[in-house]
Amino acid sequence: MLPIPKKYFVTAASAEGLSELNAFDNALLKAGIGNVNLLRVSSILPPGAEYDPKLELKPGMLLPTAYGYIISEVPGETIAAAVGVGISKDSFGVIMEFSGKCSADEARSCIEKMIKEAFEVRKMELVDMKIEAVEHVVKKIGCCLAAVPMV
């Protein structure tokens, strides 16, 4: 069993590549999580996890990460990805991811609504949100990625 994460950060980036996989990899690199092994997780931030935007990652480490991404091969198309963490006062947090053919502002707005609904449904008090969003106009093959890595 993996240990419960104690720290996290929020990141978003976009990139182009010669293939879909390269565009995704290049976005991971720009987001600061390209040299680790992502373990895709669902959307719960453990209780007491501390926000640390300068978290150091070791190459090859296993990194639990909630993320969303979009890849497009349509030149001129605008794509976006966003991720957000809703923070409660005395309990766990909720992570929401979004990606689509829209602007970063639209993606951010969707994340805000999703976090608020997640807290309402859980009957939890939302005290803070941390959101990152990115948009990209595709040149050839583009990717937008937004993620919440946890260690």
- What single-letter amino acid sits at 109? S
Note whether 147 and 66 are within 8 A (CB).
Answer: yes
φ and ψ of 18, to 5 deg: -80, -15
Tokens at 22, concatenated: 């390269």
* Number of neighbours of residue 30 by Cβ within 10 angstroms: 17
Residues recognised as catalytic: 37, 42-43, 97
Determine the Cα angle at 56 with ends 54 and 62, to 5°: 130
Distances, alpha carbon 134 to alpha carbons 11, 27, 53, 65, 118, in Å: 9, 11, 17, 17, 22
Helix (H) or strand (E) holding 110: helix 104-122
